[in-house]
Structure 1
């Protein structure tokens, strides 16, 4: 089991197994929710992810595909814990920075893909060995 939480500690979660995919995303919403050049996302099967405590609030927008993208945040602090995209049914897009165990976090390794590279700042280098995609 991997455990994680939000900034204030109210929402706690766990997931089982290895991520189906690990990707750095440079899309504008990820830049805005992370406050930096990208977000590091772990694609976890929805049935392997469980909220243990706390309350979530959700915000939904239309993604580039025209399908809904829902951001699930702590009700008390601004932490986005995971995202659900209709285009990626059955997966929770978990924000890697919410993983609590430093050993697990450090052993995640680098993302296997970088997406929305069309939005990557010119001063930000590509991740060596990661698949590069201009969109999702």
Structure 2
């Protein structure tokens, strides 16, 4: 299986929280929603989706930040770096902030979401764009295309 042995390490800005993702990512994304703009102080957030069982915290203890609802955003308590998100109703997935990984250069966004809220000058190399989130029935095809385009690692 492509990417089966792939290991990606990451950490917050100060290094107090470290994590690891194993295996191939499911998909990469850029989110243009105003919530992500405010949490990143940028035009969009970048993320890479992994199965929860392929993700582990190896040092430190992240804390919940951002909105404290059903979707949980996790941060370093010391430097306040936004590390990952556990989406509401999707306990089997973890959405890592791409730039928190030690090696992120090959994880350009494949999908961009919430383009109806994007700043007009913000651009990404994403192949697929959605005004909000992609319809759930489109995810299997998007994930398959992402995997095919990434090829063996």
Q: Normalising by structure 1, what TM-score?
A: 0.85
1:36 is matched with 42
1:133 alignment partner, one of 125, 130, 133: 130
- What SS does the aligned partner of 1:86 have? coil
Q: How far apart, in 2, do the equivalents of 1:123 and 1:131 lie?
A: 17
Unaligned runs of at least 5 residues, structure 2: 1-6, 134-153
Unaligned runs of at least 5 residues, structure 1: 63-67
Q: How far apart, in 1, do the equivalents of 2:128 and 2:51 lie?
A: 21
How many residues are matched?
A: 126
Q: How far apart, in 2, do the equivalents of 1:114 and 1:91 lie?
A: 18
1:13 is matched with 19
2:119 alignment partner, one of 112, 118, 121: 121
Residues 1:98 and 2:100 are matched in the alignment: yes
1:65 is matched with none
Cα drift, residue 75 of structure 1? 1.2
User: Greater share of strand residues, 1 or 2?
Assistant: 1
Q: How far apart, in 2, do the equivalents of 1:130 and 1:54 lie?
A: 36
- What SS does the aligned partner of 1:2 have? strand
- What SS does the aligned partner of 1:92 have? strand
Structure 1 residues 60-79: aligned runs within 5 Å: 60-62=67-69, 68-79=70-81
Cα drift, residue 111 of structure 1? 1.1
Q: Normalising by structure 2, what TM-score?
A: 0.76
C-alpha root-mean-square deviation of aligned residues, in Å? 1.5
Q: How far apart, in 1, do the equivalents of 2:72 and 2:52 lie?
A: 14
- What SS does the aligned partner of 1:33 have? helix
Change (3 A) 1:56 1:17: same
- Give structure 1 regions of 4+ aligned residues with deviation exceeding 4 angstroms: none
